[in-house]
Amino acid sequence: MKSNKHLYNIILIFSLTLLFTFSFVNISFASTPYIWSNSSAIETSSENNSADLKLESGGAILIEQTTGTILYDHNSHEKFRPASVTKVMSLLLIMEAIDSGQLSLKDNITCSDHAASMGGSQIWLEKDETLTVEEMLKAICLNSANDCVVAMAEHIAGSEEEFVHRMNAKAKSLGMYDTNFKNCHGLDEDDHLTSSYDIALMSRELLNNHPSITNYTTIYMDSLRGGKTGLVNTNKLVRNYQGCTGLKTGSTSLALFNLSASATRNDLSLIAVIMHSPSTDVRFQEAQKLLNYGFSNFTNISFGTKGDVVRKSSC
């Protein structure tokens, strides 16, 4: 018995030695440069980064924009009606069309009967009225104009139905498995649902890959039609929260009050999503609470820049 136990100990020590060796020693068979890929990490400055923020909203999430790291989670996969936060996905497809060259900011977009018939938030487009893509973007980002987003959807995809099909396809490709879009504007419709987690995913995609959207989401006031139509951003954080970069509000009587809020301070970019909040004041307060929590407790640390040669080794 002692002999078998002694043999077992020798085998265990030998196995651990091999594991340690191959975990920390890099064996190279040729002269090879080690090229750095962009890499960063989120460091917490708090011993407990799972604090209970006592949110009243039905669902919420806070993520770091660059890496997608989840910093705070509150029922983030529970499905709710998104209202006009839906337009984050619509804006994503619009920006893809612009950045791919399919659309120009100066292109004229004509309003159809269907687009002109939209209720809810709008700028009262008339049938056959035209605005440029840039003017449409301002109306969508600031006033959450349903008529404008439908006109854009029809121009890009031929119909709102086809555009919504593309929205759902994009959602699936991003891993938005809690989401089903039924329209491009966010007015209440059965089975038009998403989660705060999924809103964070599409918000991150929009901000990371199409950063020029912030040229519009950060505007507080503007006008169209030669100054006849005033625009005021429905996202009050743009005016009163340091570093705010957007992104989109949404509310209906059934959806209650939703918000995807983004901000950047000291190289740390955060996205806070609030869903099913009991009031407009609460949604903004709780978005600020999430963002403040992130900026107070986390730091974005970069380990290197893509293309940097870390070291060279040879056999």
Mean pLDDT in residue range 248-275: 98
Per DSSP, the residues of 122-180 read ---PPTT-EEEHHHHHHHHHHH--HHHHHHHHHHHHSSHHHHHHHHHHHHHHTT-TT-B
pLDDT at 31: 37
Residue 306's pLDDT is what?
65
144 is catalytic: yes
- What pLDDT band is residue 7 in, cutting at 50, 70 and 90? very low
**Taking 90 as the threshold, does the pLDDT of residue 13 lie above it?**
no
Residue 198's pLDDT band (cuts 50, 70, 90): very high
In the predicted model, what is the mean pLDDT of the chain?
87
Among the listed ranges 32-41, 193-202, 231-240, which one has the minimum average pLDDT value? 32-41
Other beta carbons within 10 angstroms of residue 112's beta carbon come to 18
Has residue 237 got a pLDDT over 50?
yes
Q: Which of these is catalytic: 57, 84, 121, 196?
A: 84
pLDDT given at position 286: 98
Bridge partners (DSSP) of residue 62 are 72, 272
pLDDT at 26 over 90: no
Say yes or no to pLDDT of 20 above 80.
no
% of the chain with per-residue pLDDT over 90? 78
pLDDT at 226: 95
Phi, psi of 17 (to 5 degrees): -65, -45
The pLDDT of residue 114 is 97
Residue 23: what pLDDT?
Answer: 40
The pLDDT tens digits for 241-259 are: 999 999 999 999 999 999 9
The active-site residue out of 87, 138, 170, 289 is: 87
Question: What is the Cα–Cα distance from 53 to 72, expressed in whole angstroms?
Answer: 9
pLDDT in the model for residue 30: 36
H or E element at residue 39: strand 39-44
Average confidence (pLDDT) over 255-264:
98
Concerning whether 87 is annotated as a catalytic residue, the answer is yes
Return the pLDDT at 49: 46
Name which CATH class applies to 39-105+175-304.
alpha beta
- 108-123 pLDDT, tens digit each: 999 999 999 999 999 9
pLDDT at 3 over 50: no
- Cβ count near 36 (within 10 Å): 15
Q: Above pLDDT 70, what percent of the chain?
A: 79
In this predicted model, what pLDDT tens digit does every residue of 50-70 receive, in sequence order?
568 999 999 999 999 999 999
- What is this structure's pTM? 0.83
Task: Decide if 84 is catalytic.
Answer: yes
Of 76, 112, 121, 144, the catalytic one is: 144
